[in-house]
Amino acid sequence: MTETIELKRVGDGNLRAQVYQQIRLTIQHGELAPGQKLVDVDIAAQLGISRMPVRDALMQLVHEGYLVGTTRGFTLPTLTATDVADIFEVRRLLEPRAAAHAARTLDAAGLKTLAAALREAEAAAAAGDADRFFQANSAFRNCWLGAVENERLSQTIARFADHVLVVRLRTLSHQPTQAVIVAGMRAIYEAFVKRDAVAAYDRMTRFIQNAEERFMKLSPPFQDSNGEGEGMSRQGKA
Amino acid sequence: MTETIELKRVGDGNLRAQVYQQIRLTIQHGELAPGQKLVDVDIAAQLGISRMPVRDALMQLVHEGYLVGTTRGFTLPTLTATDVADIFEVRRLLEPRAAAHAARTLDAAGLKTLAAALREAEAAAAAGDADRFFQANSAFRNCWLGAVENERLSQTIARFADHVLVVRLRTLSHQPTQAVIVAGMRAIYEAFVKRDAVAAYDRMTRFIQNAEERFMKLSPPFQDSNGEGEGMSRQGKA
DNA sequence: TAAGTTTATAATGTATACTGTTTGAGTTCG
DNA sequence: CGAACTCAAACAGTATACATTATAAACTTA
């Protein structure tokens, strides 16, 4: 058991930051089984370092909502329908405004990156490649979010988006949903190209609404046909 | 030399949580000099525990934006004008909606608490007691925020509000500002009493705008690039 | 005297060891 | 056959010791 997730140190600064980055990327890429537990001593042994930096990184991820810390190892949170609704409410409040910012501040290079991500998403949707679609989606979002000059705004958005992203990989394999999302991305992209902040605001609003609607309709944990018997355990909040 | 801040352990759970709570309260109460540095080993010695729980608490506070961690001790962040503007932008997006929520969900006990905090704020303003005014303000905010059923929303708001609160103690000694704030609190309170979500939304919007305006106008460190230069700042009273 | 360089120190970063608590399996008793 | 108790393993919490690094002070030199 315990197929150890592959982790390698990325050259940034101190060990804690490296480990944090690695684990977060692992989570964002969906390379972590829902019930899998992350144990500091195991990860430390795999990386050839001590427990402490790993423990620090795990606790930071807990504070940011990426993980939950139980008495028996760290693991992914299982979001309830209420959790997802709460997250989407915050996103609805923040992302349209941020998109309006990006419409003003995106430069040519950013627009080019967005165009590439959009094409990639379309190609992935056409090919039915959910994982590739997922990646293109993240690239698109990270790009325009990076152009937002209010760092606290963009970081808050990124965090909340990541939280639902954890569970989202499964819903993104639904092809009609992919079509809806691609259409929304294109609409937003065109608003960016025109530097139309109002259009960006409105289209992002619609985009989030659509995303939430699709999400709630398709998410397996909430109307589960899969006999995993997971239940709706409310885990650590705070 | 550096007068050590008084810290005592509060009986919650593990040591890290206790220390975290204590330091956060110390920050929120403004009992921390702007340049004062928090050193884990000192606090640990004062509490009679080891470095690690203190270090964990300090790092958590850094992750949440309450502190900044340098290589030479943890200290309060010095917010630039841009920082403050960014924080207020996020608050403008979140708090009106949260107030609308609270207008629906506040119960009689909550309204009573709000009324008491409001009276306290008025009394403090009349007496010119900035510290008491500050406390009443926090009590008011914590009360209605506690009624918001979206935990992530309320926690995000609380965090960002705390960030500017750190610097705000100075501006709150300005009596005309106190009058403006009290008027805003009363307007919001009345919307809560009437359970009028729309009015709560609108009045909270105005309240935040006023708060930001006053904040930027009065804060000494920020008079850099933004040449305001209008004659409405009645600074002569005090 | 002022600027640049060195050194000392104070603080965090990291490692290892120990403790306490929870969990789950195995066993015994009803 | 099932429920409760015991015990051992596993993992987070805490403590102490060592390493590293950046800052500030001291010192040298032009």
Q: Which CATH architecture has domain A81-218?
A: Up-down Bundle (1.20)
Q: From A225, A234, A221, A134, select the one nearest A185 (Cα to Cα).
A: A134
pLDDT given at position B30? 84
Q: Which nucleotides of C are covered by protein (CB under 7 A)?
A: 10-17, 21-24
When the candidates are 2.40.30.10, 3.40.50.970, 3.40.50.1100, 1.10.10.10, the CATH number that belongs to B15-75 is 1.10.10.10
pLDDT given at position A172? 80
Quickly give A71 CA vs C23 C1' distance in Å.
Answer: 9
pLDDT digits over A115-160, tens only?
A: 999 999 999 999 989 889 999 999 999 999 999 999 999 999 999 9
Chain A residues 33 to 72 whose Cβ lies within 7 Å of strand C are 44, 49-53, 56, 70-72
Can you read off the two tokens belonging to residue A142? Answer: 């990270």
Average of per-residue pLDDT values in chain B: 87
| Residue B70, nucleotide of least CA–C1' distance | C12
How close, in Å, is residue A77 to chain B by CA atoms? 14
pLDDT digits over A35-50, tens only?
A: 889 999 999 999 999 9
B19 touches B47 (CB < 8 A): yes
With cut-offs at 50, 70 and 90, classify the pLDDT of residue A8: low
CATH topology match: B15-75 vs B81-221: no
Quickly give A40 CA vs C21 C1' distance in Å.
Answer: 17
pLDDT digits over B13-30, tens only?
A: 789 999 999 999 999 888
pLDDT beyond 90 at B8: no
End-to-end CA distance of chain A: 31
Specify the DSSP class assigned to residue A173.
T
- The domain B81-221: what is its CATH number? 1.20.120.530
Instruction: Give Cβ neighbours of residue B128 (< 8 Å, ≥ 6 apart).
Output: B175
pLDDT given at position B4? 55
Q: From B185, B188, B213, select the one nearest B201 (Cα to Cα).
A: B188
Higher pLDDT, B220 or A233: B220
pLDDT beyond 60 at A84: yes
Higher pLDDT, A166 or A163: A163
How close, in Å, is residue A125 to chain B by CA atoms? 32
With cut-offs at 50, 70 and 90, classify the pLDDT of residue A5: low
CB contact B13 to A (< 8 Å): no
Where along chain A do its domains lie?
15-75, 81-218
**What is the phi/psi pair of residue A175, to 5°?**
-65, -45
Chain B residues 93 to 112 whose Cβ lies within 7 Å of strand C are none
Best mutation site among A61, A71, A156 for testing chain B: the one with the most B CBs within 10 Å? A156
Can you read off the two tokens belonging to residue A150? Answer: 């209010």
User: Which residue places its CA closest to the C1' of nucleotide D16?
Assistant: B50
Higher pLDDT, B202 or B12: B202
Nearest to B90 among A87, A89, A152 (CB): A152
- The residues that bridge with B73 in the sheet, in sequence order, are B70, B71
Contact yes or no for A153 and B86 at CB 8 A: yes
pLDDT beyond 90 at B122: yes
Contact yes or no for B90 and A156 at CB 8 A: yes
Nearest to A151 among B86, B93, B156 (CB): B86
| ipTM here | 0.87
